[in-house]
Amino acid sequence: MLFARLSTVVTIALGTSLSNAALTKRVTCATGQVTAHAACCALFPVVDLLQDQLFDGAECGEEAHSALRLAFHDAIGFSIHGGKGGGADGSILAFNSTELQFHANGGIDEIIEGQFPVFQQTKLSAGDFVHLAAAVGTANCPGAPRLQFMLGRPPPRVAAPDLTVPEPTDDVTTILARFADAGFSPREAVALLSSHTVAAADVVDVTIPGTPFDSTPFTFDTQIFLEVLLKGSLFPGNGSQPGEVLSPLAGEMRLQSDFVISQDPRTACFWQALVANENRMVREFKDAMAKLQVLGQDTRRLIDCSDVVPQPPQLKTAITFPASFSQEDVQIACPQLPFPSIATVAGPAPTVPPVLGS
């Protein structure tokens, strides 16, 4: 009897590994790269094109940051209740003359200008192009996850309507309601905000373009979750602008939306849980991005080409309190969670340099 049961287990296990082997069958492309599906082969030259012509040779610079922001602004134009746009369909690129007029898309014009000529050299749909560019740009940032990339979005049919992209002046209830309307939980919204670790603002205060949201805008680390919690004392540019609150560091901008989300009882504990947990942040961001980048799409028709996305470089350093800061400066909004122990960099408080475009 026991033997009979054991042999069933062995058969099931064998069956599973055989079907996994069938599922993971690989294709060698004419260019020599190996991928999961023949249709993905056409993407390797596009990845090279993006790295050469858009990302200055695989940098985690302004264009990579903006490509990630563009993917969000494209996809979020969607509602699970219907009546909004087509989601992750590239409408922001194809119908840019309409969508660029929306207030929340301020500053997006530069990346559209950069992407359009590259897009025209490919045979991809606008949606596939925008979301591949975001995955490749993000992969240039040390510490980032290798984002999923699904191929096969049809061309967008219409522009997204206005008022789907959250604004930094919005309150937490408004922001979470917009994310919920697009199908995201408060926790997924916070996970997506990990993106602000590789980010800077050009138009919140136009006198200081390229002002980063944390002191390490070229690495996908958890520094953003720490620095948004530090007591603010200054505005980096021309006084207080709409959507901006006091920042802890010269040269750094704190968005009002990031701050209120870090302090709100609905989101504060998850925010704090990510402060020194790189693996968790990367995992949760990757999962939420996988959902964002196929929003509104018929996923049964898409092909998983994630293996064309380059492997991101590893992070080499642990996060730190910027010089002169310590746990005493943290505005804790989740007292029930122990705050992690983090070392402080030696020396005087730094001034964070801007992220300059190429």
Smallest distance, Å, CB 25 to ligand HEM? 33
Catalytic residues: 73
Using CB atoms within 10 Å of the CB of residue 21, give its burial: 0 to 12 exposed, 13 to 18 middle, 19+ buried. Answer: exposed
Q: Cβ 355 to ligand HEM, closest distance in Å?
A: 6
**DSSP string over 32-92:** S-EESSGGGGGHHHHHHHIIIIISTTT--SHHHHHHHHHHHHHHTS--TTSSS--SSSSHH
Q: Beta-carbon neighbour count of residue 216 at 10 Å?
A: 22
Segment (H or E) for 18: helix 2-23
Name which position in 46, 133, 141, 175 contacts ligand HEM (CB under 6 A): 175
Q: Which of residues 36-95 bind ligand HEM (CB under 6 A)?
A: 62, 65-66, 68-69, 72
**Is 144 near ligand HEM (CB under 6 A)?**
no
By CB under 6 A, residue 230 contacts ligand HEM: no
List the binding residues: 74, 87, 89, 91, 196-197, 214, 216, 221
Choosing from 92, 93, 193, 275, the residue that interacts with ligand HEM (CB under 6 A) is 193
**x-marked contacts with ligand HEM along 93-122 as a string, rule CB under 6 A:** --------------x---------------
- Decide if residue 186 touches ligand HEM (CB under 6 A): no
CA dihedral 187, 292, 75, 167 (to 10 degrees): 20
* CA atoms of 357 and 200, how far apart (whole Å): 11
Write down the least CB distance from residue 79 to ligand HEM, Å. Answer: 16
Structure tokens that stand for 300 in this block? 């049964």
Q: Is residue 77 within 8 Å of residue 161, measured between CB atoms? A: yes
Residues of the shown chain interacting with ligand HEM in the complex, contacts defined by CB under 6 A: 62, 65-66, 68-69, 72, 107, 166-168, 175, 192-193, 195-196, 198-204, 243, 255, 257
